């Protein structure tokens, strides 16, 4: 599971990959987390379940990453890790267990305003999954 940041004029753009679709989604979460938190260590005091349904894989990725911004903005919850993730590619459904802590316990700058559809893709190439995302900062 890896990700890399790409050149972008105003926002943050990254590509993430994995041997499976689940690993690619986890890698994209890791890139988002680094953008939000840098390298601060977040404790795993609480777990939450997420269930997402969508129309296609791109929208599923969008909604998946939006969940982390939603938790941060509405519940002051900062996610550290994904404990379990299952993606049904035919039904475009995702279920995951995430772990984290209250954001008020940490000092960080949340530069991310939103996930965008700009240059967003999810594709399989050379026996791996690759996703690309642009974050509005």
- The structural domain count of the chain equals 1
User: For residue 68, which of 20, 100, 104, 39 has the smallest C-alpha distance?
Assistant: 100
pLDDT of 10: 85
- List the CATH number of the domain containing 52: 3.55.10.10
pLDDT tens for each residue of 34-49? 999 998 999 999 999 9
Question: What is the per-residue pLDDT across 45-78, written as a single tens digit (0 to 9) for each?
Answer: 999 999 999 999 999 999 999 999 999 999 999 9
Alpha-carbon torsion 95, 97, 98, 102, what sign? positive
Residue-range definition of the domain harbouring residue 65: 2-136
What six digits make up the tokens of 31? Answer: 């890139």
pLDDT > 90? residue 24: yes
Place of tokens 């993430």: 16
The pTM of this model reads 0.96
Find out whether 111 and 35 touch, Cβ atoms under 8 Å: yes
């Amino acid at each position: 599971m890896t990700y890399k940041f790409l050149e972008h004029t105003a926002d943050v753009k990254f590509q993430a990959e994995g041997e499976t679709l689940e690993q690619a989604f986890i890698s994209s979460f890791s890139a988002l987390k680094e953008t939000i938190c840098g390298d601060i260590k977040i404790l795993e005091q609480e777990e939450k379940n997420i269930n997402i349904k969508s129309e296609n894989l791109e929208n599923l990725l969008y909604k998946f990453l939006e969940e982390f911004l939603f938790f941060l903005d509405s519940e002051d919850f900062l996610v550290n890790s994904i404990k379990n993730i299952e993606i049904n590619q035919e039904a475009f459904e995702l279920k995951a267990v995430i772990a984290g802590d209250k954001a008020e316990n940490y000092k960080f700058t949340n530069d991310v305003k939103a996930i965008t559809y700009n240059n967003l893709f999810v594709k399989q190439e050379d026996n791996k999954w690759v996703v690309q995302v642009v974050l509005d900062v």
